[in-house]
Chains A and B, each alone.
Chain A
């Protein structure tokens, strides 16, 4: 099956710093999403981005489908950005999202 690898696994930042999270996937996909799991366990949908670039406030994401990777950019990080960021992809018609292991982000004040 398709493999999803995220890097780095852990990231510690000072408030105000910028960061880039990466997601590599092993095969072509028709769905790629970025999620943020907050400290209370909720999965928040950040971007649906099977290709191209999107921006939402301090967050932006780029997916280069032909090279099988996606990047999530966080600018001017805040303590509320802490949590785990997941990349998830789907290939084919069964509808199963395959999740990466996540990047755990800690933003220090």
Chain B
């Protein structure tokens, strides 16, 4: 089944403890992206990747890192999480970031930083 898989689905952590949220897609998509969703602010893009080894900042990149060493994986790294990073996170992928293709979203990761 074609899908975007995020792990974990739920995570509670403490301030400052490094964490990684994994994202993997099995559709051979070039484009991958991370979004966060917050009440009243909607969905906002954190980082995106047009292809392997090509990443760029979205609208809210502060406090996050990403890497794209292989096509299928696009992990989101929080080096020193803070409570304002408590949010619902989504990974998405698309066949291409430069043409009119649809996006597929993962099931989301609900992160709480205490």
* Binary interface encoding of chain B residues 38-73 relative to chain A, with 1 for a CB under 8 A from any of its CBs, else 0: 000011010010100000001100000000000000
Q: Closest CB of chain A to B106's CB: distance in Å?
A: 8
A43 at the interface (CB under 8 A from B): yes
- A86–B88 alpha-carbon span in the complex (Å): 16
- A93 touching B98 by the CB < 8 A rule? yes
- A99–B8 alpha-carbon span in the complex (Å): 24
Chain A interface (Cβ < 8 Å from any Cβ of B): 30-31, 33, 35, 41-43, 45, 48, 50, 86, 88, 90, 93-97, 99-102
Kindly list the 7 A-B residue pairs having the minimum CB-CB distance in the complex, ordered from nearest.
A95-B97, A48-B102, A43-B105, A30-B100, A99-B43, A93-B98, A41-B108
Chain B interface (Cβ < 8 Å from any Cβ of A): 31, 33, 35, 42-43, 45, 48, 50, 58-59, 88, 90, 92, 94, 97-105, 107-108, 110
Q: Which of B35, B99, B108, B110 contacts A30 (CB 8 A)?
A: B99
Q: Given A95-B97, A97-B92, A102-B42, do A45 and B107 touch, yes or no (CB 8 Å)? A: no
- A45 touching B48 by the CB < 8 A rule? no
Q: Closest CB of chain B to A20's CB: distance in Å?
A: 22
- A97 touching B99 by the CB < 8 A rule? no
- A102–B107 alpha-carbon span in the complex (Å): 18
- B94 touching A99 by the CB < 8 A rule? no
